[in-house]
Amino acid sequence: MKTRTLVLSLSASSQSRPAFRRRPGLPHLAGAGGLAILVSLSILAAWPSGLAPYDPTLTVGRPLQKPNPEFRLGTNDIGQDLLSELIWGTRISLGTGLIVATLAVVIGTAVGLAAGYTNNLFSGILMRLADLTLVLPFLPLVILLSAYLGPSQRNVILILTLVSWAGPARLIRAQVLSLVNERFVEAARAMGADRVRILIDHILPGVASIAGLQFVLVAASSILAEASLSFLGLGNPTAKSWGVMLYFARASGAFLGESWRWWVLPAGVMITLSVLSLVLIGFALEQRFEPGARGRWNLLRRGS
Amino acid sequence: MSRRWVRRILEYGVTLFAAVSINFLLPRAMPGDPLALIAGDAVRQMGAERIAQLRSAYGLDRPLIEQYALYLGRLARGDLGTSYRYSGGRTVIQVLADRFTWTFFLVTVSLALAALAGSALGVWAALRRGRSGDLGLLTVIFTLKSIPPFWLAMILIPIFAVNLGWLPSGDSYSIPRPTGLAGVTDVLRHAVLPMGVLTLSYLPTSFAVMRSTMSSVLGADYIRTARAKGLRRGLVILRHAMRNALLPVVTSLSLDFGQLLGGVTLIETVFNYRGLGGMMFEAVKSRDYPLLQGGFLLFTLGVLGVNLLTDWLYPRLDPRLREQPA
């Protein structure tokens, strides 16, 4: 398999064009903006019961109402409040993304460290597995797996983790491989530090920034992937995620009438905002940790 | 054939083998009757005789390794099973062949458009690196990448198809299907929206790669030399810089092809387009497992095909990568 060594970045190659240096505030601005969006969304996710006017699982009014003072975004085909659905959806969509990102980065880091630091058959097999995961068509594979495993939130998380660990693993392995040949690691070895000590004191801090960046990027792509899966009817249909909202909107033909403006539009805006907040934070992190390096701007390269 | 190629083809073989094995193992590893998971929901409507016949055809009472041999044998003969429910008992190969053309049409045109437009924008941004035009475009691209493409499709349909009535809201052609030149324009009109969405969703990849490669190429010594020789700026950008920056765009698009293909599944679903993606959705809905597996296999073959093509194309695009005669 072709290794993904060709990683290109949005960041400037700093010596050639110093334009970005004149605007040191840009990554900060992007990061702050992303963080602000993420914090607002997190408040919705943390306290939906206080902010949502109704219980989104209950029929609270006539079905298919237009927005009115009672139901700010109208009601869906079975009379549930769309605004409440939207607010509760934050928890599921954001939560799924963060859980998948945590699992994928923990697994990816462990594999990357093991494969970069030891050179045996086992680590070789792990990396082949990572290559394989990266080359198989992402969404068709996910669809196939979910069709067999059945629709549930747990399975969505499981499947997305299964296809998301490989990217971080590859990048972290590459970083470890370049770190072990660094002078300071050599020095530590010469002074008699054992392998575990070197791993903890010298290698781990060196991969932390990549792991952090990958966490943000995997979270973003997982939110998109969860929405896609739910939209195809492969998520948990009883969970009120934004993708599920769009699934039901499509099923009842909402986008062919005028109700797309309050049923379809807001859910997509929420997805876009969540992903965008993470993309912006990722951009800021990348500029912070690897200014001018051939960074790993994977999110821009990974469709969903 | 050189050793490099032998190695490459071996690697592709391993990937294909893995995809086939996933197809083989998934239904057999799940709890429940494997036959129902291999043949799909259609089993429920079959008589006992037909079920027994299928069971022995798949060798479900024999050890796993023998089942695998049987499975590979069928595959080698091009037998991917029958799509029972959704396509009225046609073989999976027939359905796939039918559907493939539509997806191929959508994906190739959109990829080409995205590569061209993305590269052009990337060059434009690289020349203004850090200035307001660049930053504005960057913001747009970031947002574009964050938008779920299927949702974009869902809001373009009410605007362009329903309210304005400019374009059809779905399907690949009108029914009854017009013939002759009218048929061609009909197909093109139906393709505009799905292609537009797909192109927009592919755009960020080529833009990001072109922008970053271009800005590092522009700082290279040979560019300065070319300028110092007195060549015009436009000529230097076009002939000297862009030629070198094009290669990474091709590479990244081909490397990410597996990921990029995903979007087509959802977009075809929204537009009820008659391609492989729409087929996958229908297959999921009606638990048509043979069709689902066939679709996955064909998508994998598509990815491998594109990678192989890039490998072949590469030395032709870049003289530096041509193999030294041994």
Q: Hey, how many other C-beta atoms are within 10 angstroms of the C-beta on B136?
A: 12
Whether B251 has its CB under 8 Å from any CB of chain A: the answer is: yes
Band (A294; pLDDT cuts 50, 70, 90): very low
Residue B77 pLDDT: 83
**For A44-48, A212-216, B122-126, which range has the lowest pLDDT when averaged over its residues?**
A44-48
pLDDT digits (tens, 9 = 90+) for A12-39: 343 444 444 444 567 788 888 899 999 9
pLDDT surpassing 90 at residue A161: yes
Residue B138 sits in a domain whose CATH number is 1.10.3720.10
Residue A97 pLDDT: 93
Question: Per the structure block, which two tokens stand in for B272?
Answer: 């009820």
Distance in angstroms (rounded) separating the CA atoms of residues A114 and A120: 10
Nearest to A37 by CA among A285, A274, A286: A274
When scoring B146, B205, B211, B298 by the number of chain A Cβ atoms within 10 A, the one with the most, hence best to mutate, is B146
- The pLDDT mean for chain A works out to 80
* Sequence-separated (6 or more) residues with CB below 8 Å from residue B312: none
pLDDT surpassing 50 at residue A297: no
Burial class (CB in 10 A: 0-12, 13-18, 19+), A51: middle
In a domain, B3, yes or no: no
**How distant is the Cα of A93 from the closest Cα of chain B, in angstroms?**
13
Residue A271 pLDDT: 94
* Sequence-separated (6 or more) residues with CB below 8 Å from residue B298: B96, B100, B276
**Displacement of CA B253 from its chain's centroid (Å):** 10
Nearest to B147 by CA among B263, B257, B249, B255: B263
* Sequence-separated (6 or more) residues with CB below 8 Å from residue B106: B191, B194, B195, B198, B264, B267, B268, B273, B275
Q: Which amino acid is at A34?
A: G
Residue B85 pLDDT: 61
10-residue averages of pLDDT along chain B (326 residues): 78 87 84 75 75 78 82 83 70 85 90 91 87 86 91 87 79 78 83 91 89 83 85 82 82 80 86 87 82 88 87 78 56
**Domain of B231?**
100-283
**For A21-30, A82-91, A240-249, B53-62, which range has the lowest pLDDT when averaged over its residues?**
A21-30
pLDDT surpassing 80 at residue A142: yes
In a domain, B326, yes or no: no
Please list every residue in chain B whose beta carbon sits closer than 8 Å to the beta carbon of residue A275. 145-147
Whether B25 has its CB under 8 Å from any CB of chain A: the answer is: no
In a domain, B325, yes or no: no
Nearest to A300 by CA among B122, B267, B265, B142: B142
Contact A282, A219 (CB under 8 A): no
DSSP state of A258: T
Residue B171 falls in which region: left (phi positive, over 0), alpha (psi -120 to 50) or beta: left
Distance in angstroms (rounded) separating the CA atoms of residues A73 and A263: 7
User: Mean pLDDT: which of A69-73, A217-221, B131-135, B311-315 is highest?
Assistant: A217-221
Alpha helices, H only, chain A:
19-22, 25-46, 48-51, 82-117, 121-135, 138-149, 153-164, 166-179, 183-190, 195-198, 204-231, 242-251, 260-263, 265-289
Under 8 Å CB pairs connecting chains A and B tally to 221
* Sequence-separated (6 or more) residues with CB below 8 Å from residue A213: A282, A285, A286, A289, A296
Chain B's closest residue to A11, CA to CA, is: B212
Regarding predicted confidence, which is higher, A102 or A257? A102
Angle at B109 between CA B107 and CA B114, to 5 degrees: 90
Q: At which residue do the structure tokens 């998948």 appear?
A: A100
Q: Do A300 and B204 touch (CB under 8 A)?
A: yes
In a domain, B66, yes or no: no
Whether A233 has its CB under 8 Å from any CB of chain B: the answer is: yes
Show the domains of chain A with their CATH numbers: 98-239+277-289 (1.10.3720.10)
In a domain, B192, yes or no: yes
Q: At which residue do the structure tokens 């469709």 appear?
A: A303
* Total domain count, chain B: 1
Residue B133 falls in which region: left (phi positive, over 0), alpha (psi -120 to 50) or beta: alpha
**How distant is the Cα of A126 from the closest Cα of chain B, in angstroms?**
14
Chain A's closest residue to B258, CA to CA, is: A137
In a domain, B50, yes or no: no
> Among B14, B155, B209, whose Cβ lies nearest the Cβ of A8?
B209
Distance in angstroms (rounded) separating the CA atoms of residues B100 and B29: 29
Please list every residue in chain B whose beta carbon sits closer than 8 Å to the beta carbon of residue A228. 148, 150, 262, 266
Residues present in chain B in total: 326
Contact A49, A57 (CB under 8 A): no
Residue A12 pLDDT: 37
Residue B148 pLDDT: 92
Nearest to B209 by CA among A221, A297, A17: A297
**For A34-48, A193-207, A216-230, B100-114, which range has the lowest pLDDT when averaged over its residues?**
A193-207
In a domain, B113, yes or no: yes
**How distant is the Cα of B221 from the closest Cα of chain A, in angstroms?**
10
Nearest to B171 by CA among B92, B278, B86: B278
In a domain, B245, yes or no: yes
Contact B248, B145 (CB under 8 A): no
Residues present in chain A in total: 304
